[in-house]
Each structure stands twice: as C-alpha cells, then as structure tokens.
Chain A
Amino acid sequence: MSYAISVNGQVHHVEDDGQTPLLWVLRDTLKLTGTKYGCGAAQCGACTVHVDGQPMRSCTLSLEVASSARIITIEAIEGADVRAIQDAWVAHDVPQCGFCQSGQVMSAIALLRATEKPTDRDIDLAMSGNLCRCATYNRVRAAIHDAASKLGSPT
C-alpha cells in the first residue's frame, strides 16, 4: 500500500506494508539513519523521533499510524533550544560511543519544550526511557541543566 508520510517538513510517498515500523521507513526507505535501532520494543529510546511534537519510539510506531502525523527526526530538528542542547552536549563531552545520543538529544529537546527549567526529577521522568550503556547519564543531566539555564538567561 502507498502512504503519504510527512517527515522533516516534506511529504514522502512510501510503498510498504502499513505495519512496517516507522523506524525502518526512516532508515531503509528515506535513508535517515540518525535515528537508531537499539531494541525494537520501545525499551531503549535510541529511535526517538518527534511525532506531532511529542517524543515517541519510532520502532513501535507503524507506518500506517505515523502517516497521519508530522514526524521530525534528529537530522532536521531546529531551533534555539536544539542548538543549546547540542552545544551543551559538546561542552560537556556527553557522548562516548554515541549510539544512543540521537535519542537522548531528541528526548532532551522535547523535555525543554515542555518544561523550561526542569528539575532533576523532571529529567529522571523524561530521560529514563533513554538507555545509555556507556552510562553517560550524569553528563546528559548536566548538559540539560546547562542548556536550560542558557536558554533562560537574557541574551
């Protein structure tokens, strides 16, 4: 079946089984490989994308469902908050192997868009779905606080 799917502001016509997880449409069909496969079961968060502005796991979201939403991936997410997050990620040298970081960054952006000044508990709630086997968690936390304070301070 053919589905019209909005990804990163562009409508793509994808010929595939409607049950195909969005993750594989992004990676294999649209060649947007910044979104990673880590578990296939919404357990790890490496495949996090924004679906109508909400962070969701693309590995368990079907093409059929996704085709009614606006999808934004790590490749095209934009804004002052995105720059602040990525700058903070670099300033804190957050990544180690880096494989989970697309998902971490996408979850962190969603958190800051919902909560301007997240507390540690807000961060725990928003980020505990994103696994990192290198355990970069403390730096993720510090970078989120840092980005939030930079965004909050008058320029």
Chain B
Amino acid sequence: MTDPSEKKSCFRLTRRRLILGGSLIGGALVVGYIATNPMQVAGAILQGGGDDPEPSAFGPFIRITDDGWVTIVNKQQELGQGIHAGLAAIVAEELDADWDRVRVVDSRSNFRAYGPQMTGASNGIASNWDLMRNAGAAARAMFVEAAALRWSVPIGAITVRDGIVSQPGSNRAVTFVELLADASRLQPQQSPVLKRPADYRLIGTDKVRRKDSLSKSTGAQVYTQDIQRPDMLVAMVAHSPRFGGTLARFDASDARKVKGVVDVFAIETGVAVVAETTFAAWKGRDALRIEWDDSEAETRSTHELVRYYHDIAAGRSDVEPAEFDSKGDDPEVPFDGDVADFAFDFPYLAHAPMETLDCVAQVNGWDVSITSGAHLATVDQVYAAFAARTIPGKVDIEVVPAGGSFGRRGVLSSDYLVECVRIAKRTDGRPVKLMWSREDEIASGYFRPMSHHRVWVQLSPDGFPTRWRIHSVCQSLLPVGPNSLATEGITHSPYFSTASTVDGKIFTPTFPVVVGLWRSVGHSYTALVMEHIVDQLARRAGLDPAAYRRVFYEKAGDKRRLAVLDELCLRAGWGGPIEPGWARGLAIHEAFGTIVGQVAEVRLVDDRPIVHRVVAVVDCGIAVAHDQIAAQMEGSIGFGLSAALYGAITLKDGIVQETNFDRYLVVRMNEMPVVETHVIASTGRPTGMGEPGVAPIAPAVANAILALTGQPTSRLPFLDRNARSNTDVSVQS
C-alpha cells in the first residue's frame, strides 16, 4: 500500500504551495487551503466541473457551523484504520474544540482541492499532520483575535478550551458559534503558533476515540454493498479462471432465461450478467457456458513456480538480477571462512477483506458517477474516465468507508471499478452495482507476491556478519519503475551494520499472475527473512537473541530500535521464567517509519503453534490516537498471524485452488492471542500504524518455535491448509 506520491516529488502537494484561507460560507466558518500551484492546473483538468458539494477552492478543511459542530473534511479513506479519530484529534487539539462536538465527513474525489487522494503506505496521519495542525491552529487564532477585538483586550489575555473562548479573570466567555461572524472577517495566519507536545490535552490520551463505533455496531453504517439507487441493476461477471486467459466464446441462452436477468454481454474482463437482483445475476452467471482461450494464460502449478524461482535464484534462467543494496568495494567477491546460508519461500496471499469487491456506477453521456470504498480515489478517477471515454473531471466518486481492504481496493489499475464502469456504459443510464462473490475476490489476483530468498552470511570469529549476500526473487509490486518494494525491509537493514560488504540482488520474473499491495507490502515477508536469520545467527554465536540484536543497533547508532528493544525486553519479561512447553520469540521491524517489536509466547500442540500472548512495543512518533494504535496492533497481529499460520494461494494448472474461507483459512476468535501494546513516548513526527504491526508476528512465532525445537522455519505458512480445519474450537490453556 505504498503511495506513489512518496516517491515522485512532482506528485507531491507540499505545504509551501498552499495558502490557508478562511471565509463564511452558508453561515459556517470554513478554514482550509487554496491551492496556488501547478497542481491547480492539473486539478482543473482533472476536476473540470466535477460536482463537489463542498466549496472546491478549499483543500482539507475545517467547517464550524452555527449549530456548534466542528466538521473535519477527510480526504483519506476510512477502511478500518481509524483515520477519522486521528484527524479529529489533531484538529480538535490545536483548535481546542469540544471533542464531543467534532465529527469527520469523507470528501468526494476532488483533485483540485486535495491533490492526489491516496490512502496507502500508512500515510494517513503522517501526511495530514502539518495540514490539519495548521488549519486547526489558524482557526483557533481567528477566534482568539475576534474575541480580543470584541472585548478590547490583548490577544494574550484570551484562552480557548473545549470550544469556549474566554478571558480568565473576567466573566467573559463565548462559544465558537457566537464568534463565527467576527472570526470569518479575519485573515487566517499562514504560520500559526502550534502547541508544544507537552501541552497536549487530547493527543496521546484515551479521550481520542473512534467516531464511527455506534453506526458500525447497529448495522447503520452504509458500505458500497448497501447502496440502493432507484432503478439500480446488479451485475456479476464471469472471469477467466486462469490469469491471462481471454474469452473465446460463450452461450448465454440459459442465462437469459433466468428470471430477473436483464442483459448478458462480453466485456474486456469476461462475461457480464446484469439483473434486477443479486441472486438473479448470480444464477444467470451460473447458467453461462463459456470457453476460455488459454493460449496466453498462466498454466503452471505452484510447485512448478517454486522450482522456477529456485532456478532463477541459482542463475539458471534468463531473468537478469538488479542491485537493490550494495556496500563495499567488491560485493560480488566469493565468500570464504564461516558462511551460514539460508533459503526462504513465501506463498501468494489474497486480501480477503470482509466486504468483497463492489462498486456502484452510473454513466450518463459524459458524466460518470461512482460510489466506492476507493482508497486511491485519484487513480480510480483517471481509470474510470479512460473506461468511460470521458475526462476525469466528469467522474465524481463518492468515497464511502470500505469493509476492509488491506490493499485490495488500492490497486493501480482500479480493476473492479473499471469493470463496473464498463458495464454501466451499457445499461442506458441505469445505475449498476457490481458484486463480486467471495470466490471472485479470492481468485482475482493482486496477491501479495510469492517470493524466494537465498541468503549467505559470512561470519567473524565472534559470530557477527562481515558480509551479506541476498538474492531475492519476486514479481514487481508496481506496474512501472524498479522493483524496490519487493525488498523493502531488507534494504539498508540495521543488521548490515557490522558488515563490510552487502550484495543485494533482486530478480524480477514476469508472468500473468497479477500481484499487488497487501497490508505491509514487502515487509510482510522481509521481516521474517531478516529477523529469523538474526535469531539463528545469535544461537550460532551462543548469544541471547536480544543481546545479539543490541550489538547491531548500537553499531548502527539506531537509538529508536534500541529503545524499542529495551522496552520490549522489560514488558515481555524477556529472559524470565516461562511455563514448561512454552517459549518466547522476539522480532523487531521498521515499516513506513514506524518501529514495532513483538514477543510471542508460543507452544506446540501436535506441531501446531499456539500463540497465547503477544507483547508489542511501538515507536510511531507522537501517538495521536492511543487506543487506535492498540487497536491497529491487535488487528495487525491477527491479520499477520492468519497469513503466518494458514495463508497460501496455490495454483493448480494455473487455477487458484482456494475459493472461500473454508480453504483460505484465517484466524478466528479461539485462536486470537492476548495482545499487550506499549507505546514509546516520543516527540517525533507521527508515523503510520495501519500496517507496521503485521510484519513482526511471523518471525516472532518462528523464533519461538526455533527456541522450542531448534528447528528453523524456511517457508510459510506454518500449517498446511489440509492439515486441520480451524473451525474445530480448541481452547487455549
């Protein structure tokens, strides 16, 4: 889930180019940003007349209305990570607003106002930190100045707390509402004074809570799947069972006989069945007879692909490597002396968010109206325009919360959304809801890619690496550019700090299986590669894994990792007694600027790892929404553990074998470990929390198994899916 804007400076909306503005619009004070930069030109083209309910001159902004509510317009997407809580806290803190009168609404897609709308790389808080703090502080300063003018007192005599502007020592106190008109006549400060972290009253406290828990506990929250429109049709699509397969011919005569089926036609991705109801579309699709052309399709099975990857890593293929990390004068010189070598294999993984992929689209001539849980709204807008043969400015996307995504709704081709638009072009202006079944979603690709890693480490007599050689094989995670995401988490590893030589090479095969971004992206496997190797090296050196790590971090001058390690050892009782049959495993990994350490307490029952408790420590800079950091840690551990225990998409003759949750197992209630989260106190800029907690759990469990049995892990998942069903409840003791 990496945001391309992180990589390309031309795509970046920096604060330098933004000017804070404020005005009274419809009785509300609105404070936000006016884009005055080349982006505005691009924005005008993209947005050209796009229908936005908010004043489109403003970017991320705050609206304070005469009913006393502070409304924050959120340009990111809420997909479970709790971005609403974080943004509300940042604004409410600087504005000194009443937390209970702060709410968040999601913006529609609007490139001119917001620049690229991309929720990924755990950047929601990090990318909004300055924007939202400054907007909040500027609005606060306007109220302070308005009150000072009204009461003819110096600005310094005014305080604001919980939405009340007052002059201490007097009986003067008014609400924001009473100052709305006065404040709106003032110019917002371009660089308002921001609070010092020590003065925070909201950020970092347990007062910061989700704003959507009630609607999500009563069934009231509306997702894309729930959208109803007058005259709406429902579509399902029969896709090629093989990647790269194309439609040869189809017979729709039986499908058309199904009551409720309105139309059947071929589209670029298969055969669409359009019906009055979901179940009619489903039955219609089942009644199709289709012949696929597999001449360009992937027809290999997983074991053949694994063998192919091993051949590539051994230089027995025409796939040429590229350097991803290098240190020393002659990295390719052969190793000698004490050399440890390792090999790892990781499978494809599907995302399986609880809401499958869906989208609502209506095409009326040039105008395209879309409702979707879109976390790359800008990308979706452009691809939808291409599909509808219109301009992006004619595409309006209503962004609604997604029932999970984990990267699946953030693909750089907007696959399901484009499919919906293509169907909606052929329904005479009737809105269409595209529904994918669970089976469609699991087999649809954009998988976390499978990968193979060969690692050689030359060791000094005291057991520390002097040379590293890492050869990784992985399809490219991005459609263009170098395959750098595949090795994130290995590149510039702190464990290279004792070595004079690093030779990191990535082999990037290309074939039709579609891969993409999966929660924590490359870190989802590189954490195991590095952290499990380090544990094995520590044991080889006869050193405690925590003490061994400390040497690297000290050598690298990595104070943040050292602090996480120390706190983790303390909180987890590292080195302390543990019940017979149990062992602790430790892993520390940095992703997207956030460092997470986890200690897993594991035992084996019939070779099956049972994870009873995970102690987690995180350094994510200033902790904006404390309880949501804990929530993301819990969720990330459950998500990462699902993949570590069970996760594997396997191909047989090119066809995905997993179909539903009975064959693509995920962790259930009875398997969820107790999670304890500790946050390192920090005054650093906040970093993200949606993904980094996923990466360390697999190596923490692998390291615990290593401690229990002496057996290293060389592939995931730990359990074969056929070994045992996880629906048999086994209660942990």
- B169 at interface (Cβ–Cβ under 8 A)? no
- The distance from the CB of A85 to the nearest CB of chain B, in whole angstroms, is 8
B667 touching A135 by the CB < 8 A rule? yes
Q: Report the bound CA distance from A60 to B240 in whole Å.
A: 26
Closest A residue to B634 by beta carbon equals: A138
B79: which A residues are within 8 A, CB to CB? 97
Task: Flag if B731 contacts A36 (CB, 8 Å).
Answer: no
Whether the Cβ atoms of A98 and B631 lie closer than 8 Å is: no
A31 to B227, CA, bound (A): 10
CB-CB under 8 A from A20, the residues of chain B are 279
- Residues in chain A near residue B565, CB distance under 8 A: none
Contacts of A29 in B (CB 8 A): 277
Encode B664-687 as 1/0 by CB contact (under 8 A) with A: 001111101011000000000000
What does DSSP make chain A's interface, helix, strand, loop or mixed? loop
> In the docked arrangement, what's the CA distance between A36 and B354, Å?
9
Q: Is the CB of A123 within 8 A of B228?
A: no
Contact A125 B216 (CB under 8 A): no
A98 and B216 contact, CB distance less than 8 A: yes
B628 contacts A93, CB within 8 Å? Answer: yes
A102 and B662 alpha carbons, distance in the complex (Å):
21
- A5 interface residue per 8 A CB criterion: no
- A124 engages B661 (CB within 8 Å): no
Q: Are A33 and B222 in contact (CB under 8 A)?
A: yes
Report whether B226 and A133 are in contact in the complex, using a CB–CB cutoff of 8 Å: no
A100 touches B354 (CB 8 A): yes
In the complex, which residues 690-733 of chain B have their Cβ closer than 8 Å to any Cβ of chain A?
A: 727, 729, 731
Q: A89-B213, A99-B223, A133-B352 are in contact. Are A44 and B661 (CB under 8 A)?
A: yes
Contact B214 A138 (CB under 8 A): no
- Chain B 218-233 interface mask (CB, 8 Å, partner A; 1/0): 1111110110100000
Per the bound structure, the CA–CA distance linking A99 and B668 in Å amounts to 16
A128 CB → nearest B CB, Å: 5
Given A27-B278, A36-B354, A133-B354, the answer on whether A124 and B631 have CB atoms closer than 8 Å is: no
Specify which chain A residues have a CB less than 8 angstroms from the CB of B353 in the assembled complex. Answer: 97, 99, 133
Interface size on B, residues (CB 8 A): 66
Q: Is the CB of A135 within 8 A of B216?
A: no
Residues of chain A with a CB closer than 8 A to B82's CB: 96
State the Cβ distance, A5 to closest chain B Cβ, in Å.
Answer: 15
Q: B403 and A98: CB pair below 8 A?
A: yes
- 8 Å CB contact of A97 from B402, B437, B627, B727: B402
Contact in complex: B631, A75 (CB < 8 Å): no
Whole-angstrom distance between the Cβ of B733 and the nearest chain A Cβ? 11
Bound CA span A54–B652, Å: 40
Contact with A along B427-447 (1 / 0, CB 8 A): 000000001011000000000
Pick the residue among A31, A73, A100 that contacts B228 (CB under 8 A). Answer: A31
Decide: B639 and A131 in contact? CB cutoff 8 A: no
In the complex, A46 Cα to B637 Cα: how many Å? Answer: 21
Pair B661/A94 contact, Cβ less than 8 Å: no
B404 to chain A: closest residue by CB: A97
Residue of B209, B635, B670, B672 near A96 (CB, 8 A) is B635
CA–CA, A86 to B221, complex, Å?
14
Q: Are B404 and A124 in contact (CB under 8 A)?
A: no
**A65 contacts chain B at the CB level, 8 A cutoff:** no
For B220, B402, B672, the residue with the greatest tally of chain A CB atoms inside 10 Å of its CB is B672
| Contacts of A26-82 to chain B: CB distance below 8 A | 27-29, 31, 33-41, 43-44, 46, 73-75
Taken together as a complex, chains A and B put the C-alpha atoms of A115 and B641 apart, in Å, by 30
A34-B220 in contact (CB<8A): yes
Task: Determine the chain A residues whose CB is within 8 A of the CB of B215 once the complex forms.
Answer: 98
Which of the residues A28, A34, A89, A98 comes within 8 Å of B277, measured between beta carbons? A28
**How long is the Cα–Cα vector from A30 to B438 in the complex, in angstroms?**
23
- How many angstroms from the CA of A95 to the CA of B666 in the assembled complex? 18
How many chain A residues touch B (CB < 8 A): the figure is 58
Closest to B668 in A: A128
0/1 string, B145-182, CB within 8 A of A gives 1? 00000000000000000000000000000000000000
Contact present for A43 and B660 (CB under 8 Å): yes
Contacts of A99 in B (CB 8 A): 223, 353-355, 403-404
Q: Pick the contact of A95 from B213, B228, B667, B729 — CB < 8 Å? A: B213
CB-defined contacts of B218 to chain A, threshold 8 Å: 34, 74, 86, 105
Tell me whether B354 and A132 are in contact (CB under 8 A). yes
The residue in B234, B354, B627 that gathers the most chain A C-beta atoms within 10 A of its C-beta is: B354
Q: CB < 8 Å: which of A31, A36, A43, A86 contacts B403? A: A36
In the assembled complex, which residues on chain A have CB atoms less than 8 Å from the CB atom of B278? Answer: 24, 27-28, 37
Expressed in whole angstroms, the Cα–Cα distance for A95 and B214 within the complex equals: 9
Judge whether B638 is part of the interface by a CB distance below 8 angstroms.
Answer: yes
Q: A93-B209, A135-B638 are in contact. Are A141 and B80 (CB under 8 A)?
A: no
* Minimum Cβ distance to chain B for residue A115 (Å): 15
A60 CB to closest chain B CB (Å) equals 12
Answer whether residue A114 sits at the interface, using C-beta atoms and an 8 A cutoff.
no
Q: Which residue of chain B lies nearest to A39 when distances are taken between CB atoms in the complex? A: B438
User: From B211, which residue of chain A is reached at the shortest CB distance?
Assistant: A93
Residues of B within 8 A of A101 (CB): 216-217
Q: In whole angstroms, what is the CA distance A123 to B671 when docked?
A: 12
User: Whole-angstrom distance from the CB of B556 to the nearest CB of chain A?
Assistant: 32
**What separation, in Å, do the CA atoms of A37 and B356 have in the docked complex?**
8
- Does B210 interact with chain A (Cβ within 8 Å)? yes
Task: Give A36 to B477 CA distance when docked, in angstroms.
Answer: 32
Does A136 make an interface contact (CB < 8 A)? Answer: yes
Interface contact B209-A36, CB-CB below 8 Å: no
Question: Distance in Å from the Cβ of A57 to the closest Cβ of chain B?
Answer: 12
Quick check: A35 and B354 within 8 Å, CB to CB?
no
Contact partner, A46, options B80, B283, B354, Cβ 8 Å: B354
Q: Which of B388-419 contact A (CB under 8 A)?
A: 401-406
The listed residue (A37, A94, A141) touching B669 by CB distance below 8 A is: A141
Report the nearest B residue to A31, measured CB to CB. B228
A105-138 CB mask vs B (1 if < 8 Å, else 0) is 1000000000000001101110111111111111
- 18 new A-B contacts, CB < 8 A, other than A43-B662, A128-B670, A135-B634, are A24-B277, A27-B278, A28-B234, A28-B277, A29-B277, A33-B226, A34-B218, A46-B354, A74-B219, A94-B213, A96-B80, A96-B635, A97-B401, A99-B223, A124-B731, A129-B668, A134-B354, A135-B635
A interface residue numbers (CB < 8 A to B): 17, 20-21, 24, 27-29, 31, 33-41, 43-44, 46, 73-75, 85-86, 89-90, 93-102, 105, 120-121, 123-125, 127-141
What are the 10 A-B residue pairs with the smallest beta carbon separation, nearest first? A135-B638, A34-B219, A99-B403, A98-B216, A97-B80, A74-B219, A96-B80, A33-B226, A95-B216, A89-B217
